Chains A and B, each alone.
Chain A
Amino acid sequence: MRATVAAPSTPRTIAIGPSLTRTTIVLGGGAILVLGVLVLAVAIGSVGVGLDDTVGILAHRLLGLPLAHTWAPWMEQVIFDVRLPRVLTAMLVGGGLALAGTVFQALLRNPMADPYIIGTASGASLGAIAGLMAPVLVPGLLIGAGSSWLGLGVVQLLAFGGGLGTVLLVYAVSRANGRVPVVTLLLTGYAVSAVLAAGVAMLMFLSGQRLGAIFGWLMGSLAGARWIDLAFAAPLLGLSATLLVVRWRRLNLLLLGEGAAAHLGLDVEREKLALTVLASLATSTVVAISGTIGFVGLVVPHVLRLAVGPDHRLLLPASVLYGAALLALADLGARLAGGIPVGIVTALIGAPFFIWLLRRSRTLRPVVVP
């Protein structure tokens, strides 16, 4: 917004907050990018379906438009049952990870923070691997990698519970005198992660033939995406993302430091807990359906902070949109590269890009200057 003031010398305009034009360009551009990537990623695959047919099928099935069927029934099947859930899953995961990364970087005021930093990844990994190994660990028991509850696999449920549970544990352990100092939270998260990582390593050592499946999960993959997983993840992500995006003002205040945020009316400890729980809920949800895909949650927030600025009013929704488009593109790359896990693609492209960014901007913008 803009307002005019008659300053002592000349009348002038002072910009407060992102202008309407900038907001439109950033968020409108992001939405168009997401739609474009959606159509492209659904159309491209081992058997190609023309862009016109892809758009037709999507419009017919998603929007219910009464279109003439210019496509073969198998095309509809491929698009709707195989590729669309996978692309949508990639978008949910990418958007969720980028959003959680942005929140954790601001909350912990640490540029190295990513969605996994206080224990989500190690907790979810241990849960998922325990799920993958259940028949080995508990012979004769009927639960196992193949069993399901409400259509969701044991692996997904254990990963979700492990991730969220670990963060809550880390948070509780870090609490002293009603306060959770950010540094204690980071260090406790690191220590608890180390213990859980030892458990992961132990299970991998014992895993025998299942090592391949475990490794695939740890690298992160979207190959197994199904509608049922989306039905589980989408509401949880929608809820946590909405509650995070409306907290932009509080995240901005936390950048000033906890003391100043309190002077400006923020109940700091309550807000830190709310942000941690919401961001960890988003992270655990996406990790449960995709494994631990790296770099998206670290790199996307930094790139966007350079591109659109640090104001969370714009940064949070932008993280969702651009994170979604980026991971769908990376997954398209993974499919075209012969079906390798998408985590390999994000690491292979994300890490060098991050280094390039670091060198180009000399210092990556720190979140705050003390």
Chain B
Amino acid sequence: MSAPVQLDALASLTGVSFSYPLPDGRSREVLRSVDLRLPRGELVALVGTNGSGKTTLLRLLTGILRPDAGDVSFDGRRIGDWRRLELARRVAVLPQQLDLPVGFRVAELVEMGRAPHARRLFASTEADEQAVIRALADADALDLADRFAEELSGGERQRLLVAMALAQEPDLLLLDEPTLHLDLAHQVALLTAIRRLRDQRGLTVLAVLHDLNLAAAFAPRIAVLDGGRVVADGTPDEVLRPELVRRVFGVAVDEALTADGRRHLALRAP
């Protein structure tokens, strides 16, 4: 049984359930009949507790995992019907973890993001070079171009990974904790750059974020995962209410108004 593929969204999950098999033969259900639509050009923040299924949801959208029930589709076709290479030309992922090979310079690693677009056997094209430079600039990593990956700090490494994903020149960008290891200045710079890419090139973005206030400041829409279900989905003002934060995260917060009239969540002193 399958639900109709949705044509109007760039990517969507419809009634998706997913379980990981356990060694003893049972399975652990991670997502339960999840519906999520990503219209073209939308920037959506995905928040939720550890283990709530955020990364699994991203991996379903990349086609690495197949749903047990329901449908995952991208650009009008079921994700399983896409060839891996075709999909890689249009969907880029910033994973939480990535092994970086030793001895490569940052620019060379970013060029690996061009692999799905490779046209020549041994050389890169003019378009590849321009894309690499744009990606480095957008990820604020131009200054890292000649450095070796193994010499980078955690934050610099994260900027490299963002540049690699941007070099793919995707239509859909899936970010799994893109602000990990970044200082406040680089968190803001990265999310500003991502939002600019959405405005200028119509990039669609789904970003797993942990800082609720950061998510509210940058994402026009926030979806909350809890226990494998989407429990809230809407504008930051609709979604990030103290009662929801208490219910989902078990943490007491107060809300305050910022100078520009947005709601802001403040952790209550323990």
Separation of A248 and B102 alpha carbons in the complex (Å): 16
Q: Evaluate contact between A369 and B142: CB separation under 8 angstroms.
A: no
Contact of A262 with B by CB under 8 A: yes
Q: Evaluate contact between A260 and B95: CB separation under 8 angstroms.
A: yes
Contact of A265 with B by CB under 8 A: yes
Report A-chain residues with C-beta under 8 Å of the C-beta of B97: 257, 370
Contact of A63 with B by CB under 8 A: no
Q: Evaluate contact between B133 and A5: CB separation under 8 angstroms.
A: yes
Query: Closest chain A residue to B122 by CB distance?
Result: A313
Contact of B68 with A by CB under 8 A: no
Query: Closest chain B residue to A312 by CB distance?
Result: B101
Report B-chain residues with C-beta under 8 Å of the C-beta of A256: 98-101, 112
Give residues of chain A (244-262) contacting chain B, Cβ–Cβ below 8 Å.
246, 248-249, 252-253, 255-257, 259-260, 262
Contact of B35 with A by CB under 8 A: no
Q: Evaluate contact between B101 and A265: CB separation under 8 angstroms.
A: no
Contact of A30 with B by CB under 8 A: no
Contact of A15 with B by CB under 8 A: yes
Q: Evaluate contact between B121 and A246: CB separation under 8 angstroms.
A: yes
Report A-chain residues with C-beta under 8 Å of the C-beta of B168: 264
A347-370 CB mask vs B (1 if < 8 Å, else 0) is 000000000000000000111111
Q: How far is the CB of A229 from chain B (nearest CB, A)?
A: 31
Q: A16-B129, A257-B99 are in contact. Are A265 and B116 (CB under 8 A)?
A: yes
Binds A, one of B86-94, B191-199, B220-228: B86-94
Q: Evaluate contact between A311 and B98: CB separation under 8 angstroms.
A: no
Q: Evaluate contact between B99 and A310: CB separation under 8 angstroms.
A: no
Report B-chain residues with C-beta under 8 Å of the C-beta of A150: none
- Residue with the greatest number of chain A CB neighbours at <10 A, chosen from B100, B107, B113, B115: B115
When the two chains form the complex, which single residue of B64, B116, B132 contacts A259, counting CB atoms closer than 8 Å? B64
Query: Closest chain A residue to B117 by CB distance?
Result: A265
When the two chains form the complex, which single residue of B89, B100, B132, B146 contacts A265, counting CB atoms closer than 8 Å? B89
Contact of B77 with A by CB under 8 A: no
Q: How far is the CB of A177 from chain B (nearest CB, A)?
A: 9
Query: Closest chain B residue to A177 by CB distance?
Result: B21
Q: Evaluate contact between B146 and A257: CB separation under 8 angstroms.
A: no
Separation of A259 and B176 alpha carbons in the complex (Å): 14
Report A-chain residues with C-beta under 8 Å of the C-beta of B121: 246
Report A-chain residues with C-beta under 8 Å of the C-beta of B89: 265
Contact of B62 with A by CB under 8 A: yes
Q: Evaluate contact between B102 and A263: CB separation under 8 angstroms.
A: no
Contact of B104 with A by CB under 8 A: yes
Q: Evaluate contact between A3 and B101: CB separation under 8 angstroms.
A: no
Report B-chain residues with C-beta under 8 Å of the C-beta of A142: none
Separation of A234 and B147 alpha carbons in the complex (Å): 41
Give residues of chain B (71-126) contacting chain A, Cβ–Cβ below 8 Å.
84-89, 91-93, 95, 97-105, 107-108, 111-113, 115-116, 118, 121-124, 126
Report A-chain residues with C-beta under 8 Å of the C-beta of B95: 259-260, 263
Separation of A299 and B85 alpha carbons in the complex (Å): 35
Q: How far is the CB of A61 from chain B (nearest CB, A)?
A: 33
Report A-chain residues with C-beta under 8 Å of the C-beta of B86: 265
Report B-chain residues with C-beta under 8 Å of the C-beta of A14: 107, 129, 132-133, 136, 142, 145-146
Q: Evaluate contact between A264 and B88: CB separation under 8 angstroms.
A: yes
Q: Evaluate contact between B102 and A367: CB separation under 8 angstroms.
A: yes
Separation of A265 and B168 alpha carbons in the complex (Å): 10
Q: Evaluate contact between B101 and A367: CB separation under 8 angstroms.
A: yes
Query: Closest chain A residue to B63 by CB distance?
Result: A262
Report A-chain residues with C-beta under 8 Å of the C-beta of B129: 1, 3, 14, 16
When the two chains form the complex, which single residue of A8, A266, A365 contacts B102, counting CB atoms closer than 8 Å? A365
Report A-chain residues with C-beta under 8 Å of the C-beta of B104: 309-311
Q: Evaluate contact between B98 and A365: CB separation under 8 angstroms.
A: no
Query: Closest chain B residue to A20 by CB distance?
Result: B123
Contact of B49 with A by CB under 8 A: no
Contact of B150 with A by CB under 8 A: yes
Separation of A16 and B104 alpha carbons in the complex (Å): 10
Q: Evaluate contact between A365 and B103: CB separation under 8 angstroms.
A: yes
When the two chains form the complex, which single residue of A5, A8, A310 contacts B101, counting CB atoms closer than 8 Å? A310
Q: Evaluate contact between A15 and B137: CB separation under 8 angstroms.
A: no
Contact of A138 with B by CB under 8 A: no
Give residues of chain A (1-52) contacting chain B, Cβ–Cβ below 8 Å.
1, 3, 5, 7-8, 14-17
Q: How far is the CB of B101 from chain A (nearest CB, A)?
A: 4
Q: A3-B130, A246-B121 are in contact. Are A264 and B102 (CB under 8 A)?
A: no
Contact of A305 with B by CB under 8 A: yes
Report A-chain residues with C-beta under 8 Å of the C-beta of B149: 369
Q: Evaluate contact between A15 and B105: CB separation under 8 angstroms.
A: yes
Report B-chain residues with C-beta under 8 Å of the C-beta of A5: 133, 137, 142
Separation of A44 and B116 alpha carbons in the complex (Å): 50
**Which residue numbers of B lie inside 8 Å of A, CB to CB?**
62, 64, 84-89, 91-93, 95, 97-105, 107-108, 111-113, 115-116, 118, 121-124, 126, 128-130, 132-133, 136-137, 142, 145-146, 149-150, 168
Name 21 interchain pairs, CB-CB below 8 A, sorted by A: A3-B129, A3-B130, A3-B132, A7-B137, A14-B146, A15-B146, A16-B107, A248-B122, A255-B101, A256-B98, A259-B64, A259-B98, A263-B64, A265-B88, A266-B115, A267-B84, A309-B103, A313-B122, A365-B103, A367-B101, A369-B101
Q: List 17 additional A-B contacts (Cβ < 8 Å) besides A263-B92, A367-B102.
A: A3-B132, A8-B142, A15-B107, A16-B107, A16-B111, A253-B112, A256-B101, A259-B95, A262-B62, A262-B84, A263-B62, A265-B86, A265-B88, A265-B89, A267-B85, A309-B103, A369-B100
